[in-house]
Amino acid sequence: MLAFMTGKSNAGKSPLALDIAAHVATGRPWQERKVKAGHVLYVSTEGWTGLGDRIEAIRREHFPEGVEVPFDCAATSIDLRTSSRSAKDIIASSLEGAQRFGLPPGLVIIDTLSHALGGGDESNPEHVRPVIKNCQLIASETGAAVLMLHHPTKNDSSDYRGSSILVNDTDLLIKVETDPKSRVRTVTTPRIKEFAEIEPMAFRIKVVELGQDDEGDPITSVVVNWIPAADVEFEPKLTPAQQEPLDALITVLANKADCGLLPSATFSEWKQQLKTLRAEKGKATGEDQALHRSLKVLKESGLVAQTTIRYAREGEMTPVTPVYSAPLRSGAAPLLTPLRSAFL
């Protein structure tokens, strides 16, 4: 199998890929799905500075101290476009690691596609085609699934950036998105061949403290913290005309919470904030009609709750303590850098 995982920077692609890898290495079920244990080879082509911390965070989350794990890492530059040399190196490393642990090759992760193109253009089919061919060679020679991490277009016009060959000639596309308000990451499969579509999943980023640096500041990395399926709430898609009143209400509630007040608003307060928001966009009038037209949809979708004559976000009718969060803001190693040394 050849798969792609796409998502913007800081969407959580690498933590998600490492979470999948950890379950393959241990053979433990992943999101209530059976997993066949196998050797994992993670090829990092960028972000080497923080790679060791990411691996240590995964170790602490998934692997017992002092136990060898069938999970090897390569921090190196590769070229899957101009020749098959890098592909053959990856095949040899995967087979050697699998033999060392007495397991079949299970998963090869390449992070990221853009750094495996050997200076090529991801939008050029003639440049992308040999990369796909080499990934298919890795899969066929090892029997492992190959997962490549990639990016979507900057304007979100497509789930992936570059030539359509990237998806047409692969078996699975995994998409990771971040809700800008809740920071919840959602995982979907816009394209999947020969298997049933996977239901949407969601996770948050969990910060793991690994120790302190020379100045006493904490050293941290991140892992996936899954949200149970029963607790996942995927907000309905709103039109711009419906989103505008919701944004106005959220602003009113945030201002009140900052002042220690109950996060709720009268219709008049809500309408006044909507008027201000629309004026900033050059819309002189129409806030009353806009609010009335959107109110039913916002209430029926569960985004807004009403008690007597006050409005609030669903589930926020009691005082809350504001919690603020934000997304977390080198020489090449040899091709095969075993992680097992970090696990002892």
Q: For 130-143, what is the mean pLDDT? A: 96
> Average model confidence (pLDDT) for the chain?
80
Look at residue 286 in the predicted model and tell me its pLDDT: 80
Above pLDDT 90, what percent of the chain? 34
Burial-class residue 309 by CB neighbours within 10 Å (0-12, 13-18, 19+): exposed
Q: Which residue has the higher pLDDT, 330 or 196?
A: 196
Look at residue 252 in the predicted model and tell me its pLDDT: 81
Judged against a pLDDT cut of 80, whether residue 323 lies above it is answered with no
Q: For 125-139, what is the mean pLDDT? A: 94
E runs forming strands in 141-182: 145-150, 172-178
Number of H helices, E strands in the chain: 8, 13
> What are residue 110's DSSP bridge partners?
43, 148
- State pLDDT tens for residues 56-66: 999 999 988 87
128: enclosing H helix or E strand: helix 125-142
Judged against a pLDDT cut of 90, whether residue 16 lies above it is answered with yes
The answer to whether 97 touches 135, Cβ cutoff 8 Å, is no
Least trusted range by pLDDT, from 25-39, 203-217, 300-314: 300-314
Domains of the chain by start residue, with CATH? 2-234 (3.40.50.300), 240-313 (1.10.10.10)
The answer to whether 221 touches 54, Cβ cutoff 8 Å, is yes
Q: Is the peptide bond before 112 cis (omega within 30 degrees of 0)?
A: yes
Confirm whether pTM is higher than 0.85: no
Amino acid, res. 16: L
Structure-token pair, residue 183: 């920071």
- State pLDDT tens for residues 159-193: 666 677 777 888 998 999 888 777 889 998 888 88
Judged against a pLDDT cut of 70, whether residue 343 lies above it is answered with no
Give the single-character DSSP code of 161.
S
Q: For 78-89, what is the mean pLDDT? A: 94
Look at residue 91 in the predicted model and tell me its pLDDT: 96
Question: Distance of CA 47 to CAs 10, 56, 265, 267, 312, Å?
Answer: 12, 15, 46, 49, 42
Region of 162 please: left (phi>0), alpha (psi -120 to 50) or beta: left
Look at residue 134 in the predicted model and tell me its pLDDT: 96
